[in-house]
């Protein structure tokens, strides 16, 4: 077989390319199997026809077929991609090469035309283009994320709408700039921008949260992701950077954490309060036995100054223990408060001598009260104790002496703040010129058992007691302090609702010897044997006849057996039958029988009647005598007093 025959066989066998000849005018002179396959013409149908029929109407009108032959003739080659038309009229994307065929003398004998069907590649390219356009529109349409590219050196190469919204830069302001300008000065100094790109190059991805800077200099909390972008050969061509403004989410998370912390703190404080209240109740019973026994023992001792001094010292120690339990109960909000309409200025002036004696000569006390101040709703005894606590704290903050200013003013809350509802308040303040507190100390100042006075110099319950009392009465405690500038403690007390009754003033107590109380028949009830024995001893020492009972049931048995009982003194916290339940059972038979309820803390049910006289534990013989005097005088007052003694 000749070479010409082999070439002809080769060309005619090719099916993936249309290979055919044109004469110098463009008339088809040969046709292979590939041309027939994707152009659709059989040789008899196309031989002798002009090749321009493969072009679209638009290309023919533009003279593209003639231009193709002219270019091939002049330049020796024509190459082009474009739409071509099949026999059935459908279009396909073709890659076309036209080469001139010349005689040895250089005369053009015709043209060799090779056409390849690239429709699938064209469709893929078009789809890729559409996909890229959709992606571009997607990225540009995102406003909640800053999405942009960096070159390998970290310079910004594109910028979406989200980046403009979050960071504040327009595209023409930031393109070409280094992305490190979004970082704080501290992060730039620490090399964080370069570190981020290094991690992205090494690990493929970098992610972190931190402060970033907007164009106007404000900070926002951002979540940043940087991905390394590489080409098909693995060469780094840049970075894709996505930034999300997390400021609102961070604030919400912080608010949630603070709320959870406050909830856990309240649970902890509630548990501490329950524990404190229970311990204080039991401790009160022990102090009852100690104080009562010491007082009775003191009466029976010979007139020996040394012995009397020891007994007085023990009594003072027990009284300090009683004060401590009152603080613990106030912190636990289990103090049985007796709110009254108080003239705060009169109360402060009435205890001025006590304050000065307690604080010592190195402290000067000033009082500043307006001429007109409405009465405040508060418990006089607890308020005096709170004021004394604040004054002692102020003194301890001034080791070299100084001035304490006690004053008051009228304030108004327009919205609820803690336990304090919106309304008017009398703000009682204690200001010192002492060392003051820093922010950290101030934040913990009202926590139970927190003290800055050193080991053995403070219980850490003073401010806790004031805080608990303030909130229990419906007010609040406000502390203001700065290091080196002193401290101001404010007790906000609700303004008392106006009533026809006279505002109560602080009263001085009368001694047992001043009370004219006849000999009484008394039923004493307590499940604690030590307290019961101590109460009986004090009553008998006062000249009364006493029947004892260790439970409510036993007390009812004595009550039914002994008809001449004048007064019942009962503990509240007893198993099976409480003191109030015992009182209800007795009153069902003798409505007018005076009943004194001795309580260690505010353990009474909310529906307990006001006709029960309350006596706080631990009580001394003098306070017990006062309670009995009030009991026997009930008929002269016209009704049973809903008050208590201390």
Residue 23 scores a pLDDT above 70: yes
pLDDT of 298 reads 77
- How high is the pLDDT of residue 309? 77
Structure confidence at residue 462 (pLDDT)? 58
CB 636 within 8 A of CB 606: no
Integer angstrom CA distances of residue 464 from 333, 338, 366, 436: 10, 19, 25, 18
Quote the pLDDT of residue 507.
44
Q: 125-138: b or e for each residue (b if 16 or more CB lie within 10 Å)? A: eeeeeeeeeeeeee
Q: How many CA atoms lie within 13 A of 250 on its CB side?
A: 12
pLDDT at residue 617, as a whole number: 79
376-412: pLDDT as tens digits? 998 887 888 888 888 888 888 888 889 999 999 999 9
Higher-pLDDT residue of 294 and 154 is 154
CA distance 646 to 617: 8
pTM over 0.95: no
Which CATH number is associated with domain 3-119?
A: 3.30.450.20
pLDDT digits (tens, 9 = 90+) for 471-517: 888 888 888 988 888 999 999 999 988 654 434 444 444 444 344 45
| 183-192, 287-296, 313-322 — most confident range | 183-192
- Are 17 and 115 a contacting pair, CB within 8 Å? yes
- Residue 7 clears pLDDT 70, i.e. is over it: no
**Mean local confidence (pLDDT), 172-193:** 94
Using pLDDT thresholds of 50, 70 and 90, give the confidence band for residue 27.
very high
| pLDDT value at residue 129 | 72
d(CA 372, CA 369): 8
pLDDT tops 50 at residue 143: yes
CATH code: domain 142-245 is 3.30.450.20
User: Which pLDDT tens digit goes with each residue over 601-646?
Assistant: 555 555 555 567 888 778 888 888 888 888 777 644 544 444 444 4
pLDDT for 515 equals 43
More confidently predicted of 584 and 609 = 584
Closest by alpha carbon to 645, among 629, 628, 623, 622?
623
Chain mean pLDDT for the chain:
81
CATH of domain 512-645: 3.40.50.2300
Residue 277, pLDDT > 90, answer no
**Stretch 172-180: mean pLDDT:** 93
Q: Which residues, other chains included, contact 569 with Cβ-Cβ below 8 Å and sequence gap of 6+?
A: 522, 523, 524, 525, 535, 539, 595, 596, 598, 615, 627
Distances (CA, A) of 559 to 522, 524, 548, 578: 10, 11, 10, 16
Encode pLDDT of 30-51 as tens digits.
999 888 988 999 999 999 999 9
Check residues 451 and 500 and name the one with the higher pLDDT.
451
pLDDT above 70: residue 15: no
pLDDT of residue 329: 59
Is residue 542 over pLDDT 80?
yes
Residue 547 makes CB contacts below 8 A (sequence gap 6+) with 521, 522, 523, 524, 558, 562, 565
* Domain extent listing, the chain: 3-119, 142-245, 256-328, 340-494, 512-645
As a residue count, the chain comes to 646
The enclosing H or E element of 110 equals: strand 108-117
Coil, helix or strand at residue 58: helix
Mean pLDDT (whole number) for 230-251: 89
pLDDT band at 70 (very low <50, low <70, confident <90, very high): very high
Mean pLDDT of 226-252: 90
Six-digit token pair at 7?
């070439």
User: Does pLDDT of 428 surpass 80?
Assistant: yes
Q: Is the pLDDT of residue 125 over 50?
A: yes
Distance CA 191, CA 205 (A): 17
Q: Would you say residue 132 has pLDDT above 80?
A: no
Q: Is 80 exceeded by the pLDDT of residue 275?
A: no
- Tell me whether the CATH fold assigned to 142-245 matches the one assigned to 512-645: no
User: For residues 3 and 385, which has the higher predicted lDDT (pLDDT)?
Assistant: 385
In the block, which residue shows the tokens 């960071």?
A: 167
Model confidence at 420, pLDDT cuts 50, 70, 90, reads confident
User: pLDDT tens digits for 429-438?
Assistant: 999 988 888 8
Task: Look at 60 and 499; give whichever has higher pLDDT.
Answer: 60
The label of the residue with tokens 């003051």 reads 436
CB 530 within 8 A of CB 289: yes
Predicted pLDDT of residue 317:
75
CA distance 612 to 606: 13
pLDDT-above-90 percentage for the chain: 39
Range of weakest confidence among 73-77, 93-97, 598-602: 598-602
Q: Which of 16-30, 250-264, 450-464, 630-644 has the highest mean pLDDT?
A: 16-30
Classify domain 340-494 by CATH number: 3.30.565.10
Q: Tell me what percent of the residues of the chain surpass a pLDDT of 70.
A: 79
pLDDT of 141: 60
More confident residue, 229 or 129: 229
């Amino acid at each position: 077989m000749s070479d010409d025959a082999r070439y002809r066989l080769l060309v005619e066998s090719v099916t993936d390319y249309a290979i055919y000849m044109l004469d110098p005018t463009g008339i088809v002179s040969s046709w292979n199997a590939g041309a027939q396959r994707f152009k659709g013409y059989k040789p008899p149908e196309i031989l002798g026809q002009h090749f321009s029929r493969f072009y679209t109407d638009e290309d023919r009108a533009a003279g593209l077929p003639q231009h193709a032959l002219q270019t091939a003739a002049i330049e020796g080659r024509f190459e082009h991609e474009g739409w071509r038309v099949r026999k059935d009229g459908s279009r396909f994307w073709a890659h076309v090469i036209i080469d001139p065929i010349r005689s040895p003398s250089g005369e053009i004998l015709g043209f060799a035309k090779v056409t390849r069907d690239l429709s699938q590649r064209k469709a893929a390219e078009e789809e890729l283009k559409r996909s890229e356009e959709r992606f571009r529109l997607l990225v540009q349409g995102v406003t909640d994320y800053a999405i942009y590219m960096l070159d390998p050196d970290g310079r910004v190469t594109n910028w979406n709408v989200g980046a403009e919204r979050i960071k504040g830069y327009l595209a023409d302001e930031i393109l070409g700039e280094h992305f490190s300008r979004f970082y704080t000065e501290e992060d730039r100094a620490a090399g964080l921008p370069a570190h981020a790109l290094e991690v992205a190059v090494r690990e493929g991805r970098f992610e972190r949260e931190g402060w970033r800077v907007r164009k106007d200099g404000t900070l926002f909390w951002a979540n940043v992701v940087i991905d390394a972008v590489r080409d098909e050969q693995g060469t780094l061509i840049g970075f894709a950077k996505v930034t999300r403004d997390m400021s609102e989410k961070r604030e919400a998370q912080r608010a949630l954490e603070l709320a959870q912390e406050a909830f856990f703190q309240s649970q902890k404080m509630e548990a501490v309060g329950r524990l404190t209240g229970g311990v204080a109740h039991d401790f009160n019973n022990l102090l009852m036995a100690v104080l009562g026994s010491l007082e009775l023992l003191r009466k029976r001792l010979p007139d020996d100054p040394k012995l009397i001094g020891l007994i007085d010292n023990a009594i003072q120690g027990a009284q300090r223990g009683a004060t401590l339990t009152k603080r613990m109960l106030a912190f636990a909000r289990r103090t049985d408060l007796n709110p009254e309409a108080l003239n705060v200025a009169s109360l402060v002036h009435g205890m001025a001598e006590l304050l000065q004696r307690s604080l010592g000569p190195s402290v000067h006390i000033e009082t500043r009260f307006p001429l007109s101040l409405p009465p405040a709703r508060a418990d006089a005894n607890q308020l005096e104790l709170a004021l004394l606590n604040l004054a002692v704290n102020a003194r301890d903050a001034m080791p070299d002496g100084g001035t304490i200013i006690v004053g008051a003013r009228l304030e108004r809350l327009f919205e609820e703040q803690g336990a304090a509802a919106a309304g008017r308040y009398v703000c009682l303040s204690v200001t010192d010129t002492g060392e003051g507190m820093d922010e950290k100390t101030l934040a913990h100042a009202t926590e139970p058992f927190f003290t800055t006075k050193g080991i053995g110099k403070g219980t850490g319950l003073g401010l806790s007691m004031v805080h608990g009392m303030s909130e229990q009465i419906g007010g609040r405690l406000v502390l203001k302090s700065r290091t080196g500038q002193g401290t101001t403690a404010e007790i906000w007390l609700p303004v008392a609702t106006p009533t026809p009754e006279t505002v109560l003033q602080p009263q001085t107590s009368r001694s047992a010897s001043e009370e004219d109380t006849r000999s009484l028949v008394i039923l004493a009830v307590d499940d604690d044997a030590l307290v019961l024995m101590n109460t009986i001893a004090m009553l008998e020492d006062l000249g009364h006849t006493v029947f004892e009972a260790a439970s409510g049931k036993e007390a009812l048995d004595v009550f039914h057996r002994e008809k001449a009982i004048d007064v019942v003194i009962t503990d509240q916290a007893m198993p099976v039958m409480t003191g109030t339940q015992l009182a209800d059972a007795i009153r069902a038979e003798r409505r007018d029988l005076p009943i004194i309820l001795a309580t260690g803390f505010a353990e009474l049910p909310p529906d307990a009647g006001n006709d029960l006289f309350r006596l706080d534990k631990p009580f001394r013989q003098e306070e017990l005598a006062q309670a009995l005097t009030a009991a026997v005088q009930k008929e002269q007052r016209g009704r049973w007093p809903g008050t208590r003694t201390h």
